[in-house]
Amino acid sequence: MNLKVKILEIFETTQVTDTFKKREFVVEYAENPQYPEFIKFELTQDRCDLISQYKLGDEVDVWFNLRGRKWTDPQGQVKYFNSLQAWKIDSVQPENTQPTEGGLESQTEPEWLSNNDDDDLPF
């Protein structure tokens, strides 16, 4: 799954256990700009640095997995937890910049296509 979002907060990496670390960040998802959603994602282990190159206000495309866990507390009550684990973050190009045709900045016409009067073809 993926969402195009704007970064609102980036937290420091926390070492949860000796072998597990995570980093959380909050984004604004505005499918309907009148009612934006504020969503917290987490990055784990070697992915904690994926967010480091971005700053608050950047628009990004976040790829993530939805995770759910079941846990029974010491009193015997069952509890459920959900998390959104991001695994890829890409920059989003502003909508007003369109890539040029063919993905090239500028294209020039090949010399042989230009209208040349001194053409040496016999017909």
Domain extent listing, the chain: 2-93
Whether the full predicted model's pTM is greater than 0.95, yes or no, is: no
Q: Name which residue leads in pLDDT, 60 or 123.
A: 60
Mean pLDDT, all residues of the chain: 86
pLDDT digits (tens, 9 = 90+) for 100-116: 555 444 455 555 445 55
pLDDT digits (tens, 9 = 90+) for 37-55: 999 999 999 999 999 999 9
Q: Which pLDDT score, from 0 to 100, does residue 104 have?
A: 47
SS3 annotation, the chain: CEEEEEEEEECCCEECCCCCEEEEEEEEECCCCCCCEEEEEEEEHHHHHHHCCCCCCCEEEEEEEEEEEEEECCCCCEEEEEEEEEEEEEECCCCCCCCCHHHCCCCCCCHHHCCCCCCCCCC
Q: Which pLDDT score, from 0 to 100, does residue 58 have?
A: 96
Average pLDDT estimate for 18-39: 96
Just give the CATH number of 2-93: 2.40.50.140
